Structure 1
Amino acid sequence: MIGPDKKKLYPNENIKTVCYISNLPKRPNVEIGEYTYYSDNKKSPENFYDNIEYHYEFLGDRLIIGKFCAIAEGVKFIMNGANHRMDGITTYPFNIFGCGWEKVTPTIEQLPFKGDTVIGNDVWIGQNVTIMPGIQIGDGAIISANATVVKNVEPYSIYGGNPAKLIKKRFSDEMVEFLLKLQWWNWGEEEIFKNLDKLTSESGLVHFMNQSLDAGPFYHGTKADLKVGDLLEPGYNSNYGERKKANYVYLTGTMDAAVWGAELAMGDGRGRIYIVEPIGTIENDPNLTDKKFPGNPTRSYRTKSLLRIVGEVLDWKGHAPEVLQNMLDNLEELKRQGIEAIND
């Protein structure tokens, strides 16, 4: 099995308090993505549509809910039909009571209209949340219980309170940008099943980000005597220039670059090339990609996080002595001129 049947109303037949609401009978102007569920321990989750209030077909506003959303009991979607005319002295809706008062029935154009209510993908909405008309909630957002959402919610952010306000962002801006491009909810069933561990773990996002840059394997050249399981961290003196404290640890996806690292490293020991695994996100090394090789054909990277030693390359060949000496001479000349070879 690679997951529950997305076409079933109850994905787990033993739990009748949770149902996939995309499989309920269709309603006009309501769109719900696959795998989105509604949970209700007090009454049947099949009554989800009761939570959509003041939704009149003639107004044309839509409730759009994305895929893989988790909606708790008591959530209310207030639609545009709840709005009263607000440009007069009173907001009292005389017209709905008839008996002559219908003479002041407003036109649709005279009523406030906030547009569609749009809930993104992978959104978690807590118990008893109220979502006002025309609200847009971004992918990956979390709305805490009992919140009243009166303004749009940014992707991958946590909102709570009445009125709901930003509590915190779930990830850095860089990570959010990546996730919005990743759109894992659009993957096929097999792809999701294969990546479940990564989708539900803290390290998964780092894995996907690094893989999008380079799938590896990665190497680090040095003269340090290390063993599998050891961690490399920023803060040691650089191998180049004035040997300032390095803010990054450097790694590469090519053996040639790793060989240079091993040969040029400071220290008295022999050069070593280790296979490393980044624990945090990596980025292109600007010392090469910005200065020498646009597009990063050398697959040179750096990180402010740790690198874990996962193995050692024992059979590697160094550069010819004259080639190595030429590189050392060039580095020495840069040092003499006060030019840092590494912009760290």
Structure 2
Amino acid sequence: MEFSANNPVVKLCMQGMRLEDAGNYEDALALFLQAWEEATDDAEKFTSAYHIARRQTKPEDRLKWFNTGLQLARKINDDVVRPALPLLYAQLAQCYEELGEVDNAAKYNELAKQPTEAPSIKGPFFHGTRADLQIDDLLTAGGKSNYEADLIMNHIYFTALIHGAGLAAALAKGEGEERVYIVEPTGDFENDPNVTNKKFAGNPTRSYRSQKPLKVIGEIKNWARITLEERSKWQERLANNDGEIIN
């Protein structure tokens, strides 16, 4: 599944989450179940199963759906879903605790504590900005956040999805042209904790960050730019987001 707001399953889940925010949990669950029925691959099924599990009121039903999500994650076994494993283990442990199954609860609590594997993805990677850069230029940490005033970022961020970098370019501060560069990490990197296991389980946006510089190795000239209306909606969402940035 290519993660996109235009993906039918992603769209249904996002609509469901907006209903949750409004306290309409019954209709939210109906949309998550619709997403499950319309899913066409294991990744879409994994996404919808996770959201269905969250909305179950009985621990045995949550257990069923979180187990379904776990089996799908193990089957997919890629950098998108592997970061979700500790979250799924923790949720399963909680279900077993509520059901009084102490041994299973302990087992999954231990699994949840295991260190998360570093991403194994090789790229290509992209970075969206309004800065005018040249081949071999280095993008480094230490810049101001686009999303929180006066916050100096300890990492440089990038993604394996062109449209994700395009969105970052559209939301970047400044008046320069929106640009998407092909970049190469010069050191270790990790899953971006600001998006991993937040709205969606795992790292479906394939977003990463590093304390080491990114080297510019090319530029993408054509990508699907968001409209002014879409940009306005994103800016509104960011303005209303009171979550703390993990720096």
* TM-score (normalised: structure 2): 0.50
Q: Which residue of 2 aligns with 1:264?
A: 171
CA deviation after TM superposition for structure 1 residue 341, in Å: 5.9
- Percent identity between matched residues is 43
Q: For 2:245, give the aligned amino acid.
A: I
Q: CA, structure 1 residues 341+271, in 2 after alignment: closer, same or farther (shift >3 Å)?
A: farther
Q: Which residue of 2 aligns with 1:292?
A: 199
Segments of 4+ in structure 1 off by > 3 A? none
Would the aligned equivalents of 1:232 and 1:307 in 2 still touch at CA under 8 Å?
Answer: yes
- Describe how 1:1-344 pairs up with structure 2 within 5 A: 213-334=120-241, 339-340=242-243, 342-344=245-247
Would the aligned equivalents of 2:187 and 2:210 in 1 still touch at CA under 8 Å?
Answer: yes
Q: Distance in 1 between matches of 2:244 and 2:218?
A: 28
Q: Which residue of 2 aligns with 1:204?
A: none
Determine helix, strand or coil for the equivalent of 2:163: helix
Q: Distance in 1 between matches of 2:244 and 2:131?
A: 21
Would the aligned equivalents of 1:241 and 1:341 in 2 still touch at CA under 8 Å?
Answer: no
CA deviation after TM superposition for structure 1 residue 263, in Å: 0.3
CA deviation after TM superposition for structure 1 residue 223, in Å: 0.5
Q: Which residue of 1 aligns with 2:92?
A: none
Q: Distance in 2 between matches of 1:284 and 1:265?
A: 21
Count how many residue pairs are aligned between Structure 1 and Structure 2: 131
CA-to-aligned-CA distance 1:146-181 (integer Å, 9 cap, x gap): xxxxxxxxxxxxxxxxxxxxxxxxxxxxxxxxxxxx
CA deviation after TM superposition for structure 1 residue 290, in Å: 2.8
CA deviation after TM superposition for structure 1 residue 243, in Å: 3.8
Q: Distance in 2 between matches of 1:323 and 1:294?
A: 24
CA deviation after TM superposition for structure 1 residue 340, in Å: 4.8
Would the aligned equivalents of 1:239 and 1:266 in 2 still touch at CA under 8 Å?
Answer: yes
Q: CA, structure 1 residues 225+237, in 2 after alignment: closer, same or farther (shift >3 Å)?
A: same
Would the aligned equivalents of 1:285 and 1:301 in 2 still touch at CA under 8 Å?
Answer: yes
| Greater helix proportion | 2
Q: Distance in 2 between matches of 1:341 and 1:322?
A: 26
Determine helix, strand or coil for the equivalent of 1:331: helix
Q: For 1:271, give the aligned amino acid.
A: E
Alignment gaps of 5+ in structure 2: 1-116
Q: For 1:269, give the aligned amino acid.
A: G
Root mean square deviation of aligned Cα: 1.7
Q: Which residue of 2 aligns with 1:144?
A: none
